[in-house]
Amino acid sequence: MEILLAIMIASLTSCGVYLILRVRTFPVVVGLTLLSYAVNLFLFSMGRLTLDAPAVIGAGIDSTDPLPQALVLTAIVIGFAMTAFLMALALRAWGEFGNDHVDGTDIIANQESDQG
């Protein structure tokens, strides 16, 4: 189980990092989303993995740590809002630049060729 989770987090993180390094805004947004998925899974595992146990201390013999679950919930909400904001921003930047390059360089190159 630990190995499976570790492999999942690692592959999500590496895909996320790869996509963030791309030059167009959409892959960057997807990369950040993958990275936030990896973070959420990682937070889950930080209270150690416990299977088939309630998240309430004292109710059963075995219980899992409830705190990471609360933290993950907060992290999901914040990550979701941030992704939505970034998506809107990327659209706005696309409108301003006329392309989806993260630096908007295509339009700068065009302007220079116009002037020259």
Partner 1 sequence: MNSHLIIAPILLPLFAGLLLLFDRQERVWPRRLLGLLGSFLLLPVALLLWQQAASGDISVYQLGNWQAPFGIVLVLDQLSALMLLVTAALALPVYLHACGGDDQLGANFHALFMFQLMGINGAFLSGDLFNLFVFFEVLLIASYALLMHGQGPERAKAGLHYVILNLIGSSLFLFALGLLYAATGTLNMADVGRVIRAGEGAAPLLLQVSGALLVMVFALKAAVLPLSFWLPGAYSAATAPVAALFAIMTKVGLYALWRLWPLMYGVDGSPLQGLLEPWLAGLALATIAFAALGALAAKRLAALAAWLVLVSVGSLMLALTQATTVAWAAGLYYLIHSTWAAAALFLLVGVISHHRGSHTDQLQQGPPLPALLGLLFIALAMLLVGLPPWSGFIGKLLLLQAIPMATFWLVLLLSSLLLLVTFSRAGSTVFWRHQLGDKLTRLTFQQVAPLSMLLLLCLALTVLAAPLLDITTAIASQLGDAQGYLDAVLGGSAAIEVKP
Q: How far, in Å, are 71, 87, 106 from residue 6 at the CA level?
A: 19, 29, 40
Q: Which residue has the tokens 């989303």?
A: 33
Q: Tell me how far, at minimum, the Cβ of 54 lies from partner 1, in Å.
A: 18
End-to-end CA distance of the chain: 62
- Residues lying near partner 1 in the complex (CB under 8 A): 20, 25, 28, 32, 35-36, 38-39, 42-43, 45-48, 67-68, 71, 74-75, 78-79, 81-82, 85-86, 89-90, 92-93, 96-97, 102-104, 107
Q: Measuring CA to CA, how many Å separate 67 from each of 49, 72, 81, 92, 106?
A: 13, 9, 22, 38, 47
CB of 42 to partner 1, least distance (A): 5
CB nearer to partner 1: give 64 or 68.
68
Q: Which is nearer to partner 1, 42 or 64 (CB)?
A: 42
Partner residues linked to 101 by β-bridges: 24
Minimum CB separation of residue 71 from partner 1 in Å reads 6
